[in-house]
Amino acid sequence: MVKRIRVAEVIIEEVDLLDKVRKCKARNDEVIKTVEEMKQVGVKMLRDEEWCQEDGLMLKKGKVYVPKDEKLRAEVIRLYHNTSVGGHGGQWKMAELVTRNFWWPGVTREVKRYVEGCNAC
């Protein structure tokens, strides 16, 4: 029963993170504009909807793009790192957990740095 409560907390925290991504000051409107322009000119990798905008979020292959905001990205990593269900699983487990739902350039590198600073991992 404790695991169910903890999982529910993770889901609630993830929903809060999505709201923060939507409101992020470093929102990267440039990314949205660039993707739209690339789609208009028919860039091959974007023709099959690699990127799309949904519910105020930019998605890459169905994963939420996290704008360039160090605190927000660290919060995403911390959410999955500190859970009792799968947390402290080392670099590769953490990268897999984070990238199930989120993406940004260099995400695995940032996860590696975060995990290297954890004695439990």
Structural domains of the chain ordered from first start: 2-116 (1.10.340)
**Helix 90-98 with 70-81: angle, nearest 10 deg:** 110
Say how many Å lie between the first and final Cα of the chain, rounded: 25
Task: Give the pLDDT confidence score for residue 43 in this predicted structure.
Answer: 62
Give the pLDDT of the chain (121 residues) as one tens digit per residue: 333 333 444 566 788 889 899 888 556 666 767 666 666 666 665 555 677 888 888 888 889 999 989 999 999 999 888 776 666 678 898 899 999 999 999 999 999 999 998 877 7
Please list, in sequence order, all residues whose beta carbon lies within 8 angstroms of the beta carbon of residue 12, skipping any fewer than 6 positions away.
none
pTM of the predicted structure, to 2 decimals: 0.74
Distance from C-alpha of 109 to C-alpha of 91, rounded to nearest angstrom: 9
Q: Residue 102: its pLDDT value, please?
A: 94
- Spatial distance between the Cα atoms of 36 and 118, rounded to a whole number of angstroms: 39
Look at residue 6 in the predicted model and tell me its pLDDT: 39
CB 5 within 8 A of CB 28: no
With tokens 């000119």, the residue in question is 41
State residue 70's pLDDT score. Answer: 92
